[in-house]
Structure 1
Amino acid sequence: MLKLQSCLRFGQYASGTSRRWHSTVLPDQKLKKSYPNKENFRDLIERRQSEALRSVILEVNTIDVCGQVYNHCKQFGEIKNAFVYTLKDERNIMLLEYKHLDAVSETFKFSGFKANAVQCPNRVLVVKNSKLNSSLSTNAPLLLDNAIAPPIAHILRNAATFDEQVCLLYDNSRLTELSLRLRFLTALQAQVVINKYMNESFPNAIVYPFGSSVNGFGKMGCDIDLALRFDTDIDRTDGNSDKPLEFCGKMIESEDDSNKLQGNQVKCMASLIEYFVPGCESVSAFSGARVPIVRYFDTYIHSSVDLSVDNLAGFHITEYMYTMGLMDHRIRPFIFLVRQWAKEFGLTNKRRYSITNFQLSYMCLSFLQQLKEPLIPTFEDVKLQMNKNQSENFTINKNNEFIFDFDRFKFETKNKSTVLELFIQFLEYFGTFDFSKYMVTVKTIEKTPKPAADPLYLENVFDSTNPWGLNVSQAEISTLQIMIQESLQELEQCSLTPSDNHHNWGLLEILSKLK
């Protein structure tokens, strides 16, 4: 039986030398196969929004009629993709993506509202079986998907290597194609209602998913973060303007004024969502929060949704995390492993003062920059190369907006560590990290003193006045470092090869011992 301590080598960080740990086994080829193509974030958003605009959701009584529904809808236009899934409450749902946008309008022309229903066009339709033509064929190219993450213990137990286990954890836990499409449809549902009823107050508003839904680190069932962004092309009479006339308007002179405005905006949006967006329950407006949000539960994706206004920092850090996650095929599986470890320990259990998955992911990226052979560049390195190229295609502008183009930016790592090695080095790094003195940052590898006494200080590279992590208590930081030491001790005794008697081994053994 191969034990962890029997395959050790020296590891090293940029800031010092680690203990003698770490398997020298090369990353499993299956891990590389799960590595997605490098699609720029803005291209991803545009593609997914286009898919959502050409899509509708249909609720059906039984899966047996899905083929007939498909063939009924073909009369409105060519169907590009058709998904079928079942929710936790056993409702059966279809998602149809048409090839052309006008097919959606045609579908709406032949659809009606129930008596006494609020008549607001949306993307959710209910199929009335009794009205379907019984002669319609039941044959259709339907893609059966699961909107709920499957149990994966048996799958992991039958893997051949530890890194294959991590790969399987990643592949079976991350958001599926259907889940991503549903999240963009959720954004579109809110956007359509806001555009229809508040276009003057929210000119050309667009609702974007951000956070785990699109940064590549999201798991099945994770909450959805949405950001309402406004048209940025409105003329402004700043110091460089040659216009002699300007409109009078309420002045936003402080951050407090901005928060009050956003607070009132989310109150308006909460009312619209509650009455006009189908499938929304428990709608609440948190107008006095540091980042005002509308929170509701969407029954068609069975997830909680947070909608904020003009949350640019959230959108930009999402693009940065998405981009860094594509720098190397090990990064996303590694972050999934760290987050699963934290979940098993109860470190990310949504208590008020606990560490969030976003904060943990940020810490992972900071750590990956600290390695002697880093897996990702620092934020400053990215800015430096961008400035040298002076390209319009990838920019960090005066507002630190992060716009990236993989075709113009090159980064290669010489790091050969496995995901297991990276995990252990992560534990070692933050097990001895002095949170009382230093901030955690992705800006540079230099240790940077934090400007405030908060137990956890994550530098916001897009808005230095609003750091992340201030919700975390000192008790949570102490618990984190205690759990790290316990994990390192347990890892010394864990088996890294499959067990002949089908018992837990590798990742399953590690996580079971840490509970």
Structure 2
Amino acid sequence: MNTLMRLSPQLHHWRTYCIKQCAAAGTEAAARGKPNYEEFIGSRHQQAQRSIVVQVSSEKSYNELYNYCSRFGRIVTVQHYSVQHEDELHYMLLEYASAGEASAAISSSAYNAELSGSGVPVRSPFLWFRAPTGGAGRRGQAKLAANQKTLALHTVNGTRSLSHEALKELLRGAAGIDQQLNLLYEQTRLNELGVRMRFIAALQVEQAISGMFPDALAQPFGSSVNGFGKMGCDLDLILRFDGKTPGTDQDSQREASRLIYHTKENLSNGRSQTQRQMECIGDMLHLFLPGVCHVRRILQARVPIIKYHHEHLDLEIDLSMSNLTGFFMSELLYMFGEMDPRVRPLTFCVRRWAQSCGLTNPSPGRWITNFSLTCLVMFFLQQMRQPILPSIGAMVKAANTADIRVTEDGINCTFARDMERVGFQSRNTSSLSELLLQFFEFYSQFDFHNRAISLNEGRALAKPDHSAMYIVNPLEQLLNVSKNVSLEECERLRIEVRNAAWMLESEVENATLSESERREQSWGLLNLFKHPEKSVIRPNMFFKPRMVEVSDLFDKSQTLAPTPPPVNYKNPTVRQQVQSIKAAARSELKQLRESSTTTTATATSAAKTKRSR
């Protein structure tokens, strides 16, 4: 304790220094015009605090809703989306100019009197717009100012994905394969509304426990924020009770305060405590939060999670409390995507191709995952003669004290957050179509049997074990990202990339179709993507049929009695006589059996009587 007291001034100076360095790094990023990952997360979180979600009867309710909600403040943007349940439900996401205006709209809301006996009166940003009651019709509504006009609805059906046929038509009308790649990325990536919805879902969890944990922070990570998410992707959340970033004046006052909070001591180990806390959080989500349903607690996994569905957002959510490495991995992928505009379109195309070939599968198993495919793309871009991405090792060497990140498990997630300090500048000028072809050619020749893929080194290493595919986890380097991939699936990957390289090469060489021919037939990426129905992987798909049936090993002629030939009678009279003889014989046999049974029973009874005497 005395040692800690002596070190406390040094720790205070160290913390202040780190805060100043973070602020300086943020200023540099803002000057460049590109926000870093922490700034991106912070701005989205503030955006969610300024937003509400209102259920309406249809998009035609927009003008009336806008007129009503404008009384609480200036509305910046409104986006519409629908959710398909038994009926189609419509929602409006409204963003105000400030968080106070959004809070005023929420505070003015009322609870449904019809549900007063069964509904839980919870305050949340999820509301619904009821019809006017009594005299509170249009005459009772506040009118817009004379100089204020109704804002145009920004998005209608903003979460509706492009159908497969519509996407094919769009790609068929592209000018070339490079444009196809960019169109595929733009039309399938997670859009602006999708990102906003995910941060509102995080804010709902955060606000639900803010009374007891005012510093709690629910942060999205994974594909929802790293720039590699597609429409409809799941939301990964990490909930931290002490997640607020220090650096405010209030934090400085707390450090100097002599008043210390009494807290509950954790009597068990960290994992058990996390599991118990998550069990309580799961109960709270299930019992109190509107829109949350189908709560499943998976607490025995390596990273305990709570899975649930949000019916107002049509969103599957995975909540964890001890997955900081996933958060920092999202930051790393976000930075890779921001370094070069070709990274994300190339990754989206590779993922789409793998899905069409059946290499990936929504169910967990022996198949390669989207994260492993993303690592394959990143590694390919690192090891080129003129690399497009730097190795993670180079980013670690360029890190300073402001970049130090260490998880509670002691995992070092330190790397440079400012790419200018890394000093990496790519001179590669290859087009997207050329990079895609080179990707397939590279992995068609890669020695998965003996070599491991390391994004930290930016080169292949000797494989440390006998896994079919070995991709070193960029942050937890003792783990294999692709440990689940079977030898059979690894071989299928090599076959498919070889076929894709041959097909794409022929497409590039024969790119002489006219514009009318392009619109009438499949070309480019359309020939690379197979029909989705062919990509369904069934459990018995790779089991070979039996060479010999067991029943074939036995001679059926020996086991089965021969069928007697049919009897031909001279006339019906003879046939009747034969049947009468058979009936008489059966009757005599029956009498003989009955008499023998009676004799045996009498003898047995006499023997028992004799023994009893």
Q: Which has the higher helix share?
A: 2
- Taking a change above 3 Å as real, the CA distance of residues 37 and 278 of structure 1, as seen in their structure-2 partners, is farther
Contact 2:294/2:309, CA 8 A, preserved across alignment: yes
Other-structure match for 1:316: 328
Q: Counterparts of 2:201 and 2:373 in 1: how far apart (Å)?
A: 26
Say which is worse superposed, 481-490 or 302-311, in terms of deviation.
481-490
Confirm or deny that 1:163 pairs with 2:159. no
Contact 1:224/1:305, CA 8 A, preserved across alignment: yes
Q: Counterparts of 1:292 and 1:310 in 2: how far apart (Å)?
A: 8
Q: Counterparts of 2:289 and 2:453 in 1: how far apart (Å)?
A: 40
Residue 298 (structure 2) aligned to one of 286, 291, 298? 286
Confirm or deny that 1:277 pairs with 2:289. yes
Q: Counterparts of 2:447 and 2:270 in 1: how far apart (Å)?
A: 35
Pick the structure with greater CA Rg: 2
Residue 142 (structure 1) aligned to one of 153, 156, 159? 153
Confirm or deny that 1:106 pairs with 2:121. no
- Taking a change above 3 Å as real, the CA distance of residues 78 and 395 of structure 1, as seen in their structure-2 partners, is same
- 1:486-511 per-position Cα deviation (integer Å, ceiling 9, x unaligned): 22233343354555232121111221
SS at 1:166 equivalent: helix
- Aligned ranges for residues 274-423 of structure 1 at < 5 Å? 274-353=286-365, 354-386=367-399, 390=400, 392=402, 394-395=403-404, 399-402=412-415, 404-406=417-419, 408-423=421-436
**Which residue identity lines up with residue 99 of structure 1 in the other structure?**
A
Contact 1:229/1:311, CA 8 A, preserved across alignment: no
SS at 1:102 equivalent: helix
SS at 2:349 equivalent: helix
- 1:251-299 per-position Cα deviation (integer Å, ceiling 9, x unaligned): 77xxxx4433332232222111112222222110100111111111222
Q: Counterparts of 2:496 and 2:161 in 1: how far apart (Å)?
A: 27
- Taking a change above 3 Å as real, the CA distance of residues 456 and 270 of structure 1, as seen in their structure-2 partners, is farther
Other-structure match for 1:512: 530
Contact 2:79/2:155, CA 8 A, preserved across alignment: yes
Say which is worse superposed, 104-113 or 334-343, in terms of deviation.
104-113
Q: Counterparts of 2:513 and 2:219 in 1: how far apart (Å)?
A: 43
Other-structure match for 1:225: 236
Other-structure match for 2:130: 128
- Taking a change above 3 Å as real, the CA distance of residues 270 and 162 of structure 1, as seen in their structure-2 partners, is same
Structure 1, unpaired ranges of 5+ = 1-35, 235-242
- Aligned ranges for residues 159-238 of structure 1 at < 5 Å? 159-196=174-211, 199=213, 204-231=215-242
The alpha carbon displacement at 1:77 in A equals 1.2
Contact 2:50/2:102, CA 8 A, preserved across alignment: yes
The alpha carbon displacement at 1:318 in A equals 0.4
Other-structure match for 1:16: none
Other-structure match for 1:267: 279
Contact 2:307/2:319, CA 8 A, preserved across alignment: yes
- Taking a change above 3 Å as real, the CA distance of residues 302 and 410 of structure 1, as seen in their structure-2 partners, is farther
**Which residue identity lines up with residue 219 of structure 1 in the other structure?**
K
The alpha carbon displacement at 1:465 in A equals 4.0
Q: Report the TM-score when normalising by structure 2.
A: 0.70
Q: Report the TM-score when normalising by structure 1.
A: 0.83
SS at 1:91 equivalent: strand
- 1:193-237 per-position Cα deviation (integer Å, ceiling 9, x unaligned): 2334x53xxx72211111110111111011111111242689xxx
Say which is worse superposed, 338-347 or 79-88, in terms of deviation.
79-88
The alpha carbon displacement at 1:471 in A equals 2.5
Other-structure match for 1:3: none
- Taking a change above 3 Å as real, the CA distance of residues 506 and 296 of structure 1, as seen in their structure-2 partners, is same
Q: Counterparts of 2:480 and 2:64 in 1: how far apart (Å)?
A: 53
Q: Counterparts of 2:174 and 2:155 in 1: how far apart (Å)?
A: 25
The alpha carbon displacement at 1:139 in A equals 4.1
Q: Counterparts of 1:486 and 1:462 in 2: how far apart (Å)?
A: 33
**Which residue identity lines up with residue 506 of structure 1 in the other structure?**
G
- Taking a change above 3 Å as real, the CA distance of residues 272 and 471 of structure 1, as seen in their structure-2 partners, is farther
Other-structure match for 1:53: 49
- Taking a change above 3 Å as real, the CA distance of residues 215 and 155 of structure 1, as seen in their structure-2 partners, is same
- 1:377-419 per-position Cα deviation (integer Å, ceiling 9, x unaligned): 0001112223xxx463x45668224461345444321112111
Q: Counterparts of 1:436 and 1:270 in 2: how far apart (Å)?
A: 43
Structure 2, unpaired ranges of 5+ = 1-31, 144-148, 247-257, 535-613
Q: Counterparts of 1:476 and 1:268 in 2: how far apart (Å)?
A: 40
Q: Counterparts of 2:443 and 2:185 in 1: how far apart (Å)?
A: 23
Other-structure match for 2:70: 74
- Aligned ranges for residues 29-40 of structure 1 at < 5 Å? 38-40=34-36
**What is the identity percentage for the equivalent residue pairs of Structure 1 and Structure 2?**
33
Q: Counterparts of 1:396 and 1:414 in 2: how far apart (Å)?
A: 31
SS at 1:306 equivalent: strand
Q: Counterparts of 1:213 and 1:363 in 2: how far apart (Å)?
A: 20
Q: Counterparts of 1:357 and 1:231 in 2: how far apart (Å)?
A: 31
The alpha carbon displacement at 1:183 in A equals 0.7
Q: Counterparts of 2:284 and 2:217 in 1: how far apart (Å)?
A: 15
- Taking a change above 3 Å as real, the CA distance of residues 432 and 174 of structure 1, as seen in their structure-2 partners, is same
* Structure of greater relative contact order (alpha carbons < 8 Å, 6+ residues apart): 1
- Superposed CA RMSD in Å reads 2.7
Say which is worse superposed, 404-413 or 146-155, in terms of deviation.
404-413
Say which is worse superposed, 260-269 or 322-331, in terms of deviation.
260-269
Q: Counterparts of 2:512 and 2:275 in 1: how far apart (Å)?
A: 54
- Taking a change above 3 Å as real, the CA distance of residues 453 and 230 of structure 1, as seen in their structure-2 partners, is farther
Contact 1:68/1:139, CA 8 A, preserved across alignment: no
